[in-house]
Structure 1
Amino acid sequence: MNTAGGGLPGGLINMAAFLPASSVNGPGRRAVVWVQGCHRRCPGCFNPEMLALTENQLVTVAELAGRILAAGGIEGVTFSGGEPFRQAAALAELAAIMVKHGLTVIVFTGYEYEELTQADNPDWNKLLQVTDLLVSGPYLEHRPSCSYLRGSANQELVFLSPRLRDHPDINKQAGQAREFIIDAAGNIIITGLG
């Protein structure tokens, strides 16, 4: 199966990693889905192992929705990567399920908001419609940032719904943070910014 392109057949998501709960990938406690594949190749990318346009872990939208909802005690889900808009159709479907269950949706993307809205891509539009907060813009290694959720100073927080605008974590402008997690298999997971 060719997974180098953006869309996968049958609502499949090419996932690089999944974390059922994190406190540094958006406001509140959130599940995090990192997708596999990005063509942008920003120098200094935080997740270079997720850039290859190859098959990693193929999961159905229903399976991943079940894993996220089973996590319990979370406020939302964050999509990162890789480039989430390469898999916009399936992620829009997943995000819609999350919204129906009262969870918020954050998407980190290397695209600028204007690029996404001006492209007239129906799948991108669907994902934007179910996204509460978009962290947009390419990572620019020469423009470091210490701002909340931004890896570089050019990146923007674009609120696409009011649901996260007044979240205490956003309003306190906490800066950047990292998390060190040891999973059930004993692997150390380092996530966040900073």
Structure 2
Amino acid sequence: MNIHLLMTKRQLDIINSAGKILTEGGISGLTIKNIATEMQFSESAIYRHFKGKEEIILAMLNYLADDMQERCEKVIDQNDSDALQLKSLFAHQISYFKQHPHFVSVVFSDGLLEESERINNAIRRVMKVKHNLLLPIIQNGQLNGEFNNAIESQNLVEIIMGAFRLQMFKWKSSGFHSDIEDHGNAIIENLISLIKNN
């Protein structure tokens, strides 16, 4: 089921407001009352669209996963080199998160992992989407000799994802004030230099 396609405009407005609250006040500030206040709605109006806070968080995470899949598949040009595909993929993601920092907040919110197993599964799904986008690029680059194959492709994907997640975490920790495009793209350039065959 693609929540990205099924979500109503009002539901999208609610998850964007919830993301703003998460960004400014963390998980403890994310309540139906605060979302209603942010949107100038009644609490009952929010409940008409979502059963509660957990459903809103799940919608945010599932929306991010579906949207990431759809956007990134369009960005990857199979005619480009694997290094350029990798660079394009991350540049696009960095640009997207810069415009929508609340999605970084929902993935990295303190205490979110303790909320429920359903939320844990949704966070893992976001990571799996990114993993599945990266793996064929890395595998193909190793097969055609563009990338070094000294490290197994699965492990290489995890290293790259870890470096990217660290940049996102540092950006969030700075209050989104650091230059994520400059820092993030520099990290990707360095990672590509490390894995490319000379």
Greater helix proportion: 2
User: What TM-score, normalized to structure 1?
Assistant: 0.31
Which has the larger strand fraction? 1
Structure possessing the higher radius of gyration over alpha carbons: 2
